[in-house]
Amino acid sequence: MSETVITYGTFDMFHIGHLNLLRRLEALGDRLIVAVSTDEFNAAKGKRTMIPFEQRAEIVRSIRFVDEVIPEASWDQKLDDVKRHSVNTFAIGDDWKGRFDFLAPHCKVVYLPRTDGVSTTELKRSLNRFCSVSREDVLRAFDVLEQLRRDFA
């Protein structure tokens, strides 16, 4: 009998943590379905994405561990998805621990550890800090680098 695993996520700014999660999920069954949050659903959650849904879905779809990508349009669709796709295992990062235990009567619920030191939220914070550097500061830094290059050439 085929074992189907499902997970959910935004997968914005795809990084090694996402890849590690998908690799571990694939090992839990024979078929991996990934529900990627739509732009509209993210907006309803108060979450702003940098990459549009279709592109995020295509990135996830291209990962060899993933068999199917479906849109996640609401919090409430999970039970319907489990039933519709004959899911044996619902799995997600352990930062959601306990939030999806209501699915346990219908499938196994697994919370996997996150990759240490990697998160989309932290990447976005770093990008915001980087982008907040003034143009003048960037130009001064280039002047310093150019002077160092000349001094050590």
Query: Does residue 124 sit in the same domain as residue 110?
Result: no
Give the list of residues 6+ apart from residue 124 with CB closer than 8 angstroms, or none. 13, 50
Strand 89-93, strand 4-9: pairing: parallel
Give the list of residues 6+ apart from residue 63 with CB closer than 8 angstroms, or none. 19, 22
Q: Confidence class of residue 149 from pLDDT cuts 50, 70 and 90?
A: confident
This prediction's pTM: 0.77
Would you call 153 helix, strand, or coil by DSSP?
A: coil
Query: Does residue 41 sit in the same domain as residue 110?
Result: yes
Would you call 5 helix, strand, or coil by DSSP?
A: strand
CATH assignment of the domain containing 10: 3.40.50.620
Q: How many domains in the chain?
A: 2
Catalytic positions are 45, 47
Query: Does residue 98 sit in the same domain as residue 140?
Result: no
Is 25:51 a contact under the CB 8 Å cutoff? Answer: no
8-67 confidence digits (pLDDT tens): 999 987 878 889 999 999 999 999 999 999 999 999 999 888 889 999 999 999 999 999
Query: Does residue 58 sit in the same domain as residue 97?
Result: yes
Q: What average pLDDT does this structure show over 80-87? A: 98
Query: Does residue 18 sit in the same domain as residue 40?
Result: yes
Q: What average pLDDT does this structure show over 112-120? A: 71
